[in-house]
Every structure is written in C-alpha cells, then in structure tokens.
Amino acid sequence: MSLLIYRLLLPLYLGVALPGWVLKMARRGGFGSGLLERFGWFRLEPEFEPCGATHVHAVSVGETLLALKLIDAWRARDPDRRFVLAVATATGHAVAIGREDRSLRVVYQPVDLRACVRRYLDRFEPAGLVLVEGEMWPNLMLECESRGIGVSLVNARMSPRSRRRYRRFASWVRPVFSRLERVAVQEESDAGIWEQLGVAPAKVRVIGSLKFDPGDGPAPSRREAFQEMLAVCRGDRPVVLAASTHAGEEPLIARAVTGAGGFPLIVPRHAERRQSVRTSLEDAGFEVALRSDFSPVSETGVLVVDSTGELRDWTAHADVVVIGKSFLAEGGQNPAEAVQAGKPLLFGPHMENFEPLATRLVEMGGAWRVADENELAERLKEIIGGTRRPDPELARRVLSRHAGATGRMIDWLAS
C-alpha cells in the first residue's frame, strides 16, 4: 500500500516541484551539464559505458566529496575496480567533473520513476550500489533487488528530527529499508534506529565516520594566492573564518568578528548566494570583496569566498573558525576540517546533524558552543586577546576515534 501511494504521488510531486527545480539548476549552472541523465537519456553511446562497475550515489556537495574520498581509497586497494559516481545536484556534478579524472564516469542519479530507474540500470548493469548518507529511493531499491544488485548505505546518520519521523512511519518505510544489504553507521547510538526500520542486526555495523576520518588525504594547506588576498585586507587583525554559512548568518558573524577585533573571512555554504550575501553585508555597513572579483577592502571590509571546493585550504589561513548553519538554522555544518587544521573552534546552538561529535568536542574543551551573536563576540575577544581558547589538541583527540573508518568501510564493502 505504501509503495502504491508513493508511485501515485511522486509524479504529482515532481510536476509541482519542477519549476523550482529548474530555477535552482539555472542558478547553479546545471543546464548543459547533462541533466537529462536524470530521466535516463545519455549523450554517450551505451557500448562505451563502464558496465559492471560499482556505483556510488551522493546527493549534496558534501556527500560528493565523501564519495570521492571513498572511491580514491578503494581504488588504492583495488586498482582494477571500476566506479561510477552518480550525483543529484549540478554543484556536486561540477565538483566531481572538476577533478578531470577520465577513469571515473560521473553521471546524474535517475529520478525515482520506474522507467527512469530501469533505463539507468539497463545501461550500466551495476555490480553494486553504495549510497553515501543519502536517501533510499523505493523504486531504485526494489528494481535493484529484482536484478540481484546489492545496495549498501555507508556513513549512515539520522538527525533527531528524522528519527522521530521515521519511527512514526516505521511500518510504511520498513519494506524499503529492509532491502539494504549493509548499513555502516557512525556511532553505537545510531545502530538501533536502523534495526527498528527493518534492517537485520547482522547487516548493521558501527564503523565510524567517513567524514571525520582524516585518512591519507592532504591536510588543509596554505595557498599563495589566498595569502596575497588576505595580506591586503586583514592588516594586523587575526582571521576569523565563518565556514559554510547560511542565509542571515553572514552579518551576524561579521559584526561579532569585527567587534572582537578580527577580520571576517566568510565562506557561504552555496557559492551562488554571492549576491544576496554581498547585499546583506553591505546593508549591515560592511565593504565586501568577492573571491571571484577581488579588490582590496578597508577596515570595515569582509572577504567572501564565492567559490566551490576551496574551504579546506582557506581553513589553513584562519586563526579561528566559526561553523555556519549553527546560529539561525538547524543542523550545523562539518567541523572536521577546522579540527584537522588545528584551529580554535566555535559554533552556535544548532549542531544537530553532527551529534554526538559536537557535544563531545564541547565536553572535552576542544570547542565552544555559544548561544548568540553577543556571546560569540565575547568568546572571540577572549581568544584574540589570548586569555583563553578552546584546545585544538583536545579536539583532535575526539576526532581520532574515527581514524581508519574509511579502510574499515572498504573492507566490509569489498567482502
């Protein structure tokens, strides 16, 4: 019954959502990137496709970066294994294509209509699917099962809000979730919900977080071009980086930073928001320099990084890091890069998507949680003034429990 209702409502939903989706793709430069692949129409001739490859599915940009991390590590262990990366957004597609890795086929995920899913599976004949933190689409799951294609979920996480929602509708979603072949969860506390949703206990394993595993990848490193931009803007002020900010947070954080005597370096979560970010900061009295159209700014200046995929290395230039989406929106953003870079770390009251990590960082003294703009300014004054600060080494110890998670994940998937 739940599947019947889903199949009846999905086309209606897609019809209503299509105009907004088209506008979003236009803003993010999706047109011309192969969006018709979402409906099973591809430019490349079928005989040139890597049939029998392992398909890794990612939704957001963050998940795309995690998928690339997993693929790189898996290739290092098994050079002969072929991969297809299926993404859901134009931004994620641009990040993956930007690596110019000709051995990796990058496509868009199919819309979860049976015809689209079947065209996708007929074309590629995947050896298996790996979902990275992503949604499980009923038609895709059922079609894979009917063809003997195993589907695994890695880095599985569920926010408190999602837990409540899924528990309420457990009987409706259990037929889909029960078809998962493996579920790799980040924390012991995450295992129970998947078992309640129909995944057999033997198929659930606590492995740690792919996101928080430093692995063998490059650490955040300084770039000469970044340093040159900061040199003509910051003066002698310490750089306070606001990482992955969301709407409304930029003026709030910039006021707190300048009030504490720091220079605001703002990296919005979505680069296409550049104009709205610029307008909100200018309305708040700040002079704004954009990374994409750089020019020096005065003492009231702010540097906005309106580019994608550079946050890691901008973090290396910061003296302090403030995590976005933690003040005016729920969920928070990933603090791992700031921890790996050894920077004093602060965030607002909303880090729901990164629990229990955020609470452990605070309890250990590796990060500070602040309630609002005023408290943020006060804590920044303490750090900049040298009276006290969160301990980056303690934060690293908290993160170290996830070390090796990528390798453990690959071992389990490859088995």
Residue whose entry in the numeric block shows the structure tokens 């009030």? 259
CA 190 vs CA 3, 40, 52, 413: distances in Å: 26, 34, 32, 19
153 by DSSP, 3-state: which? strand
Tell me the H-state helices in 210-356. 224-231, 249-259, 274-283, 311-315, 336-340
Instruction: Kindly indicate the confidence band of residue 7, based on its pLDDT and cuts at 50, 70 and 90.
Output: confident
Query: Residue 240: which of 370, 125, 350, 71 has the closest Cα?
Result: 370
For residue range 362-371, list pLDDT tens digits in order. Answer: 999 999 999 9
For residue range 75-134, list pLDDT tens digits in order. Answer: 999 999 999 999 988 888 888 998 878 889 999 999 999 999 999 999 999 999 999 987
Give, as one character, the DSSP assignment of residue 237. Answer: P
For residue range 13-60, list pLDDT tens digits in order. Answer: 888 877 777 777 666 666 666 788 888 888 888 888 999 999 999 988
- What gap in Å lies between CA 333 and CA 65, rounded to an integer? 14
For residue range 142-187, list pLDDT tens digits in order. Answer: 999 999 999 999 998 777 777 888 888 888 888 888 999 999 998 8
CA 131, 408, 188, 339 torsion-angle sign: negative
What residues have CB less than 8 Å from 176, skipping those under 6 apart?
136, 138, 141, 142
Query: Residue 297: which of 307, 315, 282 has the closest Cα?
Result: 282
- The hierarchical CATH code for the domain 24-215+404-414 is 3.40.50.11720
**Distance from first CA to last CA of the chain, Å, rounded?**
35
- What gap in Å lies between CA 240 and CA 315, rounded to an integer? 9
For the entire predicted model, the pTM comes to: 0.77
- What gap in Å lies between CA 141 and CA 129, rounded to an integer? 10
Q: How many CB atoms lie within 10 A of CB 125?
A: 13
What kind of fold does domain 224-401 have according to CATH? Rossmann fold (3.40.50)
- What gap in Å lies between CA 407 and CA 410, rounded to an integer? 5
Please state the separation of Cα 254 from the chain's center in Å: 24
Domain ranges of the chain: 24-215+404-414, 224-401
Query: Residue 40: which of 155, 122, 127 has the closest Cα?
Result: 122
- What gap in Å lies between CA 161 and CA 54, rounded to an integer? 32
Residue 221 pLDDT: 86
Is 359:406 a contact under the CB 8 Å cutoff?
no
